[in-house]
Copies of this chain bind each other. A is one copy, B any other.
């Protein structure tokens, strides 16, 4: 962004992110149980960002976002609003609305994604609603979604301790540990606890956020381990029992020169547990959304593997994911393949991406006779 001086130790950093795309996909518009083709122009992200240093060890960060919503234009939302105290490099304290640190994908900047958008199963994290949106994360299917939503979805409100350091010139680590409001739909107050540790060999990835590809500017191998726990996020219909949420994950990341270009590869394993619960309800007994999956059907385990090869400002890439639901039969399970090509006009600041995705559910999507969804997307991506 642009740096605006206020005084010797204080300044504002004003920036933006805009992602606009054309999506061709399928849905059952006329209710006959078969998919029809449709296309849609979308603003996927449109953000104004204000970062600020107030003193050398106090900073603040605010970021707006775009959300489709009837009325004049679209709705302006606020997805980041936090203050950071930085008394020591191993103890940065974040207070406010911020990203709870779990998956590597939680902590990968949306301005530096590789496969158009995050893997679908990254959205199984509580921050994004224990779901798995397809069509490059543009379409939510209730088959994979238990309906858990927080007060401030896509982020959480709480306190995070973050630190980053090097153990040797070629071994680096960072950790995150936090407590958040999480989801409060049960009969009792509870806290969400999330933690993550990441080690990097060769070069470090020292910031709060990672990239999914460094476009040949970094040599690193990263390993991450994470947990995310909250008791009593909602209640189970029927029994009225409070339902606990738990997620465990580990991930590997590598960026390294290979021949004339540079390889970026990432693997993530995700395990979600929702107490083998039935349909989830709120404290008053109301369903968390209509037609949602049971907790048992939304939970399960899976992994994604994505890789790209950067050469001369071009990057072909591929993403494969599989999710095995714990639900009866194969309901809630899917696999997904994406491949595509990016052209970097100016690195992550300006690029053009296109991709194709085919997602296969193990059972037909709810209310249809279809188990396969094909999508194509092309878009422009700018950020500064």
Contacts and interface: CB of A to CB of B under 8 A. Distances in A.
A345 interface: yes
A97 B67 CA distance: 12
Interface string A32-75: 00001111111100101010101100101010111110111111
Interface string A173-213: 00000001100000111010000000000000000000000
A52 B188 contact: no
B74 A36 contact: no
Q: What is the count of identical protomers in the complex? A: 3
Given A1-B12, A58-B346, A73 B83 contact: no
A283 interface: yes
Interface residues on A, range: 35 or more
A95 interface: yes
A2 B1 contact: no
Interface in A308-324: none
Contacts of A74: 77-79, 81, 97, 152
A261 interface: no
A357 B282 CA distance: 30
A10 B78 contact: no
A191 B50 contact: no
Contacts of A64: 64, 76
Contacts of A345: 54-55, 58
A36 B71 CA distance: 28
A91 interface: no
Contact of A16 (B12, B22, B151): B12
Contacts of A151: 68, 70
Contact of A73 (B11, B55, B77): B77
Contacts of A43: 81-82, 96-97, 157
A172 interface: no
A133 interface: no
Contact of A18 (B6, B96, B152, B346): B96
A37 B189 contact: yes
A149 B73 CA distance: 11
A320 to B, nearest CB: 28
A54 B10 contact: no
19 contacts: A2-B4, A4-B14, A14-B50, A16-B62, A18-B96, A20-B95, A21-B95, A30-B188, A39-B189, A58-B350, A58-B380, A58-B382, A60-B382, A70-B153, A71-B75, A73-B97, A74-B81, A83-B380, A85-B380
Interface of A: 1-2, 4-6, 10-12, 14, 16, 18, 20-22, 29-30, 36-43, 46, 48, 50, 52, 54-55, 58, 60, 62, 64-68, 70-83, 85, 95-97, 149, 151-155, 157-159, 180-181, 187-189, 191, 283, 345-346, 349-350, 379-380, 382, 384
